[in-house]
Structures are given as C-alpha cells and as structure tokens.
Amino acid sequence: MFGPALVAALLASAVVAWGVTTPVTRPPPPPLPSLLGADTPKFGFGRSGNPSRELIRRITRGHINEVKWCYAQELSRQPGLAGKIEVQFTIGASGEVVVSSLQRSTMGNARVEGCIVEAVRRWSFPKPRGGGAGNMSDCPSVLTPDEVTQLAAGTNGAGAVEIEALEPTLFIHRSTGAKAIPSNGLVAVTEGGLLLVDTAWTEAETEAILAWGDGRFHRPWIGAVITHDHDDRAGGLVALERRHIPVSALDLTVAKLTRRGVRGVTTLFVARDGAVKDPRGFEAFYPGPGHASDNIVLRFPGLVFGGCLVKSMAATDLGFTGDADLAAWPAAIQGVRARYDDAAIVPGHGPVDLSGQAYQHTLDLLAKTAKRGSSAKK
C-alpha cells in the first residue's frame, strides 16, 4: 500500500512572440547553469524519511524540458497561447509517480494540459524511507519568451524554427516543416566556428538557422554533420550547398544520398570503423542499424545527440519505421548506452532527457512493438 500522497505543483507560464520577419540579433547570453551534469540534484530526505521539499523541486526542474516540449508543440497551432498549469501527482512507495492529474489551468488547452499530465506520470523519485509523507507544493517553474528564440523560416511549407540554449556553446534547433512534425538538431559553437548537426526539414528553415548563427556569433560555419539520410536530417542540404558549407556523414549515408542524386557530402568515417573522434569537439559512433541502416549518434561533452535512433521520454511509439531494422535496433541502443551512459540525451524528436532513461524507454517501446507483432502472427 502506498503511504499518504506527496503532492507537488508544477506551473508553466510563457508568452512567445511569433510573426518575426527576420531573426533578432541579441548579445550573447550570460553563462547558463549547466543542464549537462554540473548541477546534479542532491538526494535529500526529511526527518520523516521521505524526499525533502528541495529534492522534489530539483527533480521537477530537471524535467522542465518535457514541459517546454508540450507547450511548444501547440504554439504552431495557437501562437498566442499562454497560461499557468498545475499538476498534482502522487509518489508511490517505489518512488515512481503512480497518479498524476490536472489540478488547475489558466491555459485552456487540453493538448498541452494532457501532454504535461502524461509526462509527469513518467517521472520517478528516490524511494521514500519513512512510513508517511506530507503534502508539498513546488516553486513555480516559469517559461519566458527569452528561453526560446523564434525564427521566421520563409514560405514553401516551412514552419517557425526554434532555437533553445542548452549550454553557452550548444543549442537545439527545432523545425516542423510541411509535415508538422517537430524535429531536433544541434548548433555547436567551436573555437574554429559554428557546426550544424543535421539540417532542418526544409531549405528555408535551414537558412533561417544559418542566418541566426551569423547574427548571433559572427563566426563562420565550418561544417555540418548528417546523422542519417531522412528528410528530417538532410532536407535542407541545398541551403548548405549554396553557402559552400562542407557536409559530412557516415559512408552508408553518403552512399544513400548519392543514389538520390545528392552530391558533395563527404565521408566522416566508415561504418566498419565504428567510431571517430573529430577535432571539432565530438565523437561520432555507429552502433549498427536501428531506426535506419545508417543512423549514427554524436557525443559532445556532457551530451549525446541520439538522433532518431533514441526515442524521447515523451514518445508513445517508434514513429516512422519504414527503413528500420527492428531486430537489430535493441542491440544498437544497448551499444550506445554502454558507451555513453553518463550524459544528457537529445533525441531526434521530443524533449531533452536529463535522466538517461531514454535508452530504456526506447527498448521498452521496441519490446512492445515486437510483442504486438508476435501476437498479430498468432
């Protein structure tokens, strides 16, 4: 039986400006508290043996990217969306959230509210050590317009592009394109210049990212890395070609792109070598086929870009599997986890995972898919 409920309130409030016709140049931000491990929560317990108020707050703040993701998905449908949401949740004896529900909301958007409630249900906390716990209210987690930069991406089916800082030198770019499916890539600020990890869905969106980097950092684009050949990774290559930005990828990806008539992408490393350390500040690793036959992951200090191989904690299914190797995918995930088990994870779609649980979540989704497939054959 579970003891009395631990209750924490999670509030999110933001107003994001849309309709910007040109990227806004801002001065470089002050150093940010690291999201990549420097501010690891200290597991503390109260006299009752239950998680302390500060611990609840810290863990809740560690999941803020999941809350942002739920909110950002709806902004494209309702640009003026804003408000506060409180979610009540109960921590069971195992430390897992056993119940979560909407307590109150001023946002009035069922998609955002439901998404956040579901996200909270996946959270976990240290196991309570005592026989009971009191009700607790967390400090508000506030989303502000400055946390996400909105870029106008032009026409031709391109949606708004979002740029969000992870570190002073690492940024996520998110694009939606004509398919309205949000997709993640990275911008890394290196000593030599700017590095793009995967393009946006479209040429126009990719150009908006490049223009943002020009105005923000006044440094050259020294290259781009493509993590596999799908359009959410390589749909904007024309924008890079027009600027003569060198692009590299796994040899398998280069071969796929060449068969599609895409020229000029050079080989970063070959699949049989497994991995390569790049002087631009990352390691590229090929764990074998999974989401695609050519998917690679990139490791930056404190962060793994898992691409579409690794599913986000918000994912309820495997997404597109038309080019997937479902039998080999689990081994690929295990290989990445064995190699990089100490870093935040940026999946190809969905919120950043600071807990490292995205590997297991992907394995769980694969197991469910395999079980459904087995049942269908009976």
pLDDT, tens digit (0-9, with 9 covering 90-100), for 37-67: 433 333 344 445 566 666 777 777 667 777 8
CA distance 156 to 140: 39
Total count of domains within the chain = 2
Which one of 123, 143, 163 terminates a domain? Answer: 143
Q: Are residues 309 and 268 in the same domain?
A: yes
Residue 281: the pLDDT is 95
Which one of 143, 177, 209 terminates a domain? Answer: 143
Its domain, for residue 164, covers 145-371
Q: Are residues 77 and 159 in the same domain?
A: no
**Least confident residue range of 13-22, 46-55, 89-98, 103-112:** 13-22
Residue 112: the pLDDT is 86
Q: Are residues 185 and 260 in the same domain?
A: yes
Q: Are residues 134 and 182 in the same domain?
A: no
Q: Are residues 341 and 256 in the same domain?
A: yes
The answer to whether residue 324 is domain-embedded is yes
CA 223 distance to own-chain centroid:
22
Pair 226, 233: CB distance under 8 Å: yes
Which one of 118, 143, 168 terminates a domain? Answer: 143
Q: Are residues 90 and 172 in the same domain?
A: no
The answer to whether residue 95 is domain-embedded is yes
Contacts (Cβ under 8 Å, ≥6 apart) of 244: none
CA 100 distance to own-chain centroid:
23
**With bands split at pLDDT 50, 70 and 90, how would you rate the model's confidence at 312?**
very high
Contacts (Cβ under 8 Å, ≥6 apart) of 232: 177, 181, 183, 198, 201, 308, 348, 349
Q: 306 phi and psi, to 5 degrees? A: -85, -15
Strand partners for 18: none
